[in-house]
């Protein structure tokens, strides 16, 4: 599911996509996917595509937090957590640094 989320984000030209294996450092998810979109419209398109693709695989998110207008959206699929940021918010929250002990599986610049 995490790889499908990465592919869906990439299909919508997400920026700096990272997939982290958090099984050794995180108790609430196996994988974390972090990506960015330049505009509100792009963030919305990334969110919608990830939702569409993963639902097609039989997954549904447990919850969705944040809002496109806030520059941060979180999709919780249980074992996979997806964060979609605007660049300013991504720099502010620095989740890449927060989860630096997680094993990077994929990084697409």
In the chain, the domains with their CATH numbers are 2-108 (3.30.460.10)
Per-residue pLDDT at 109: 81
Reading phi first (left if > 0) and then psi (alpha if -120 to 50, else beta), residue 35 is in beta
- ∠ CA(86), CA(83), CA(15), 5° rounding? 50
Mean pLDDT per block of 10 residues along the chain (109 residues) reads: 97 97 88 96 97 90 86 94 96 91 88
Per-residue pLDDT at 58: 87
Per-residue pLDDT at 60: 78
- Supply 61's token pair: 């998110």
Residue 102 and residue 22 in contact, taking contact as beta carbons nearer than 8 Å: yes
State how beta strands 63-67 and 80-85 pair.
unpaired
Per-residue pLDDT at 61: 77
In angstroms, the CA 40 to CA 44 distance is 6
Per-residue pLDDT at 1: 94
What letter does residue 70 receive in the DSSP assignment? G
pTM: 0.93
């Amino acid at each position: 599911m995490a790889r499908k989320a990465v592919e869906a984000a990439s299909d919508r030209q997400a920026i700096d996509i990272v997939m982290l294996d958090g099984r050794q450092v995180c108790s609430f998810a196996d994988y974390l996917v972090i990506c960015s979109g330049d505009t509100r419209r792009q963030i919305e398109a990334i969110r919608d595509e990830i939702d569409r693709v993963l639902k097609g695989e039989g997954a549904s998110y447990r919850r969705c937090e944040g809002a496109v207008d806030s520059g941060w959206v979180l999709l919780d699929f249980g074992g996979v957590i997806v964060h979609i940021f605007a660049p300013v918010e991504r720099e502010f929250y620095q989740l890449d640094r927060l989860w630096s002990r997680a094993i990077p599986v994929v990084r697409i610049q």
